Amino acid sequence: MKNFFRISFLIALFFGFQFNSNAAEKVEYLKTDWSFKGPFGKFDRAALQRGYQVYQEVCSSCHSMKYLSYRNLVEEGGPEFSVEQAKAIAASFEVKDGPNVDGEMFMRPGRLSDKFVMPYENEKAAQAANGGAYPPDMTVLVKARGGGVDYIYSLLQGYEDPPAGVTLDDGVYYNKYMYGNKIKMSNQLSDGLVEYSDGTNASVEQMAKDVTTFLMWTAEPHLETRHKMGFKAIVYLIILTVLVYFSMKRIWSRIETKV
Amino acid sequence: MSEHEYTPKSKVGKWFNDRLPLLTLANHLTDYPTPKNLNYWWTFGGILTFCLITQIVTGLVLAMHYIAHADMAFQSVEHIMRDVNYGWLIRYIHANGASMFFLAVYIHIFRSLFYGSYKSPREVIWIIGIIIYLLMMAAAFLGYVLPWGQMSFWGATVITNLFSAIPLVGEGIVTWLWGGYSVDNPTLTRFFTLHYLIPFLILGLVVLHIWALHVPGNNNPIGIDIKKPSKDTVPFHPYIVIKDGFALLMFMIVFAFFVFYTPNILGHADNYIEANPLVTPAHIVPEWYLLPFYAILRSVPDKLLGVIAMLSAILILAALPWLDTSKIRSAVFRPLYKQFYWILVADVLILGYVGAMPAEGLYLLIARIATAYYFLHFLVILPVLGFKERTTPVPLSITEPILGGSPNLAAVKKKDSFKDQ
CATH of domain A26-68+115-221: 1.10.760.10
HEC sequence for chain A: CHHHHHHHHHHHHHHHHHHHHHCCCCCCCCCCCCCCCCCCCCCCHHHHHHHHHHHHHCHHHCCCCCCCEHHHHCCCCCCCCCHHHHHHHHHCCEEEECCCCCCCCEEEECCCCCECCCCCCCHHHHHHHCCCCCCCCCCCHHHHCCCHHHHHHHHHCCECCCCCCCCCCCCCEEECCCCCCEECCCCCCCCCCCCCCCCCCCCHHHHHHHHHHHHHHHHCCCHHHHHHHHHHHHHHHHHHHHHHHHHHHHHHCCCCCCC
> Which pLDDT band holds residue A4 (cuts at 50, 70, 90)?
low
**CB-based contact A24 B260, cutoff 8 Å:** no
Residues 6 or more apart whose Cβ sits within 8 Å of residue B136: B101, B102, B105, B202
CA angle A219, B94, A25 (to 5 degrees): 55
- Which pLDDT score, from 0 to 100, does residue B5 have? 78
* Interface residue A253 vs chain B (CB under 8 A): no
ipTM (interface predicted TM): 0.90
Least confident of A162-176, A240-254, B334-348, B378-392: A162-176
* Interface residue A171 vs chain B (CB under 8 A): no
Q: From the CA of A195, how many Å to the nearest CA of chain B?
A: 31
Q: From the CA of A41, how many Å to the nearest CA of chain B?
A: 10
- Burial-class residue A131 by CB neighbours within 10 Å (0-12, 13-18, 19+): exposed
Domain ranges for chain A: 26-68+115-221, 222-259
pLDDT digits (tens, 9 = 90+) for B274-300: 999 999 998 899 999 999 999 999 999
- Which pLDDT score, from 0 to 100, does residue A167 have? 87
Search chain B and give the residue with CA nearest A224: B260
Identify whether the C-beta of residue B401 lies closer than 8 Å to the C-beta of residue B228: no
- Which pLDDT score, from 0 to 100, does residue B418 have? 45
Pairs across A and B, CB distance < 8 A: 125
By Cβ distance, the residue of A17, A24, A258 closest to B352 is A17
Identify whether the C-beta of residue A87 lies closer than 8 Å to the C-beta of residue A73: no
pLDDT at A199 over 80: yes
**CB-based contact B107 A24, cutoff 8 Å:** no
Identify whether the C-beta of residue B75 lies closer than 8 Å to the C-beta of residue A68: no
Domains within chain B, CATH numbers bracketed: 27-284 (1.20.810.10), 292-390 (no CATH)
pLDDT digits (tens, 9 = 90+) for A23-54: 445 679 999 999 999 999 999 999 999 999 99
Residue A87, number of CB atoms within 10 A of its CB: 19
Bridge partner list, A94: A109
Q: Between residues 72 and 131 of chain A, which touch chain B (CB distance below 8 Å)? A: 72
> Which pLDDT band holds residue A106 (cuts at 50, 70, 90)?
very high
Q: From the CA of B172, how many Å to the nearest CA of chain A?
A: 34
Of residues A85 and B409, which shows the higher confidence score?
A: A85
Identify whether the C-beta of residue A35 lies closer than 8 Å to the C-beta of residue A41: yes
**CB-based contact A17 B89, cutoff 8 Å:** no
- Which pLDDT score, from 0 to 100, does residue A15 have? 55
Phi, psi of A115 (to 5 degrees): -75, 155
Alpha-carbon gap, residue B296 to B250, rounded angstroms: 33
Regions in chain B scoring below 70 on pLDDT = 1-4, 400-421
Alpha-carbon gap, residue A182 to A194, rounded angstroms: 26
According to DSSP, residue B149 is labeled B
Identify whether the C-beta of residue B23 lies closer than 8 Å to the C-beta of residue B13: yes
Identify whether the C-beta of residue B391 lies closer than 8 Å to the C-beta of residue B11: no
pLDDT digits (tens, 9 = 90+) for B153-177: 999 999 999 999 999 999 999 999 9
pTM assigned to the model: 0.92
pLDDT digits (tens, 9 = 90+) for A114-153: 999 999 998 899 999 998 889 999 999 999 999 999 999 9
- Which pLDDT score, from 0 to 100, does residue B229 have? 84
- Which pLDDT score, from 0 to 100, does residue B308 have? 96
Contacts of B75 in chain A (CB under 8 A): 67
Search chain B and give the residue with CA nearest A218: B82
Q: From the CA of B89, how many Å to the nearest CA of chain A?
A: 8
- Which pLDDT score, from 0 to 100, does residue B421 have? 38
- Which pLDDT score, from 0 to 100, does residue A118 have? 95
Closest C-alpha to A14, from B99, B144, B75, B277: B99
Q: From the CA of B230, how many Å to the nearest CA of chain A?
A: 13
- Which pLDDT score, from 0 to 100, does residue A23 have? 47
Contacts of A136 in chain B (CB under 8 A): 273
**CB-based contact A67 B75, cutoff 8 Å:** yes
Give me the sign of the Cα torsion angle A118, A122, A126, A128.
Answer: negative
Single-letter residue type at B164: S
Average of pLDDT values for A209-237?
A: 97
